[in-house]
């Protein structure tokens, strides 16, 4: 009998390490994560369908993507080696025999493999050599009696993990909060395994990015991948909202881009060409930063420090003056505590890209070693 916990999992969330290993297998990044420029350029310039097929084939042929060691429920200890490629080929071969569009019970599939080929990933049939520990109970999973907690979980992971992430399998449950009970493959699954030409069924990437005057950039899923890649090189990541990716133009991100020979003028060209609306202040802010770099620093105290008295005079005449508590000198003012982010955004709209500096405990003179 299959332990109920094996079939009770919902689909897995793809871990970052899976994508890193996949990109490495596809020849897009080096083991240290450094992009391989020419390969990335051709990958992003290709159609979505071709790029998708390339990633899938990279996974199929990969020896460095090791699903057993990616299982979140277990921990593999020691220097023993398994063969992820032959294991993957076996599992895909079993699923390939299923009829597309027909639902199959997940527990029954796992039980079928248990009965016909329990040693599918252990050719020697030795279930005592590998050192594997259960993450939740910290118990070691040794012997054939642990099959469902290792092999069973691995089969579940393939169905509810990579094959689901690639969009080749649909998962069935009673409702969104219930365990996965069944699955079915679609026709694309067999086309990919047979290396058939991939139909151009994925939506085209024709969407434009959305800009705000405070330097916030919203990028939908169907903005061209080349544009998304370039934006990420210039901007700071700000999260995901409503299935869109959020970025921020900051002094720190521009400084990082400059170290990689990327200029604000290049960002300007990119934004003008690919945005729905282009706020006029962006040109002023980016060109000013390119000439003068960071002209304003907002310190944690919070102190506003500018390079010239003219800048502070401009701030005095704007609505940002309400956030200034005191003026210390022609180039220094104290902000009202808690107003730093508001001032940052307001300065961007005035055409200044400011930098927020935070003082660590080691920089604080009031903190002395005992």
pLDDT tens-digit readout, 135-165 = 999 999 999 999 999 999 999 999 999 999 9
Residue 288 lies in a domain: no
**Quick one: tokens of 131?**
């050192």
What percentage of the chain has pLDDT greater than the value 70? 91
Same domain, 148 and 16: yes
- CA 283, distance to chain mean position in Å, is 29
Same domain, 245 and 357: no
Q: Name the domain count of the chain.
A: 3
Residue 369 lies in a domain: no
**Quick one: tokens of 56?**
């899938």
Residue with tokens 């690639």, as numbered in its chain: 166
Q: What's the pTM? A: 0.73
- CA 57, distance to chain mean position in Å, is 21
pLDDT tens-digit readout, 171-218 = 999 887 788 999 999 988 888 888 766 555 678 889 999 999 999 999
pLDDT tier at 367, thresholds 50, 70, 90: very low
Domain boundary among 236, 252, 281: 281
Same domain, 154 and 217: no
Same domain, 74 and 220: no
CA torsion sign for 340, 343, 348, 349 is positive
**Quick one: tokens of 266?**
């290049």
Residue 231 lies in a domain: yes
Phi, psi angles (nearest 5°) of residue 170: -105, 145
Same domain, 152 and 102: yes
Domain boundary among 137, 165, 193: 193
Same domain, 254 and 321: no
**103-106, long-range: CB < 8 A, 24+ apart:** 103/172, 103/182, 103/183, 103/184, 104/182, 104/183, 104/184, 105/181, 105/182, 106/7, 106/156, 106/159, 106/180, 106/181, 106/182, 106/183
Same domain, 352 and 262: no
> Which residues form the domain of 241?
210-281
Domain boundary among 142, 167, 193: 193
Pairing of strands 355-357, 296-299: parallel
pLDDT of residue 300: 64
Same domain, 250 and 313: no
Residue 164 lies in a domain: yes
Cβ–Cβ under 8 Å, residues 213 and 347:
no
Cβ–Cβ under 8 Å, residues 178 and 161:
no
Alpha carbon distance 337, 340 (integer Å): 7
Please tell me the total number of residues recorded for the chain in this structure. 370
């Amino acid at each position: 009998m299959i332990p109920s916990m094996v079939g009770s999992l919902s689909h897995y969330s793809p871990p970052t390490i899976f994508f890193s290993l996949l990109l490495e297998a596809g020849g897009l990044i080096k083991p240290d994560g450094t992009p391989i420029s020419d390969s990335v350029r051709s990958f992003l310039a290709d159609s979505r369908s071709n790029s998708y097929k390339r990633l899938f084939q990279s996974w199929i042929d990969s020896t460095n993507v090791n699903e057993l060691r990616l299982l979140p429920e277990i921990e593999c200890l020691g220097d023993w080696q398994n063969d992820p490629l032959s294991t993957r080929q076996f599992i895909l071969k079993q699923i390939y025999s299923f009829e597309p569009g027909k639902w199959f019970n997940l527990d029954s599939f796992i039980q079928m493999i248990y009965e016909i080929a329990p040693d599918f990933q252990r050719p020697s049939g030795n279930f005592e050599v590998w050192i594997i520990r259960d993450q939740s109970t910290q118990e070691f999973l040794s012997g054939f009696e642990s099959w469902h907690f290792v092999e069973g979980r691995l089969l579940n992971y393939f169905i509810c993990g990579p094959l689901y992430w690639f969009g080749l399998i649909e998962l069935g449950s009673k409702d969104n909060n219930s365990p996965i009970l069944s699955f079915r493959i679609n026709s694309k699954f067999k086309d990919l395994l047979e290396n058939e030409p991939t139909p151009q069924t994925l939506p085209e990437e024709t969407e434009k990015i959305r800009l705000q005057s405070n330097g916030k950039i919203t990028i939908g899923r169907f903005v061209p991948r080349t544009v998304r890649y370039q934006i990420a090189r210039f901007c700071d990541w700000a999260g995901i909202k409503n299935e869109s990716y959020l970025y921020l133009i900051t002094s720190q991100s521009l400084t990082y881009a400059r170290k990689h020979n990327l200029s604000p003028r290049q960002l300007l060209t990119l934004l003008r060409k690919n945005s729905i609306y282009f706020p006029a202040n962006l040109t002023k802010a980016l060109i000013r930063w390119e000439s003068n770099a960071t002209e304003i620093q907002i310190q944690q105290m919070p102190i506003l420090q500018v390079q010239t008295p003219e800048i502070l005079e401009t701030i005095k005449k704007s609505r940002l003056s309400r956030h200034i508590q005191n003026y210390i000198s022609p180039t220094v003012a104290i902000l009202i505590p808690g107003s730093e982010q508001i001032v940052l955004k307001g300065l961007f709209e005035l055409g200044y890209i400011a930098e927020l500096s935070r003082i660590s405990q080691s920089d604080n003179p009031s903190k002395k070693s005992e």
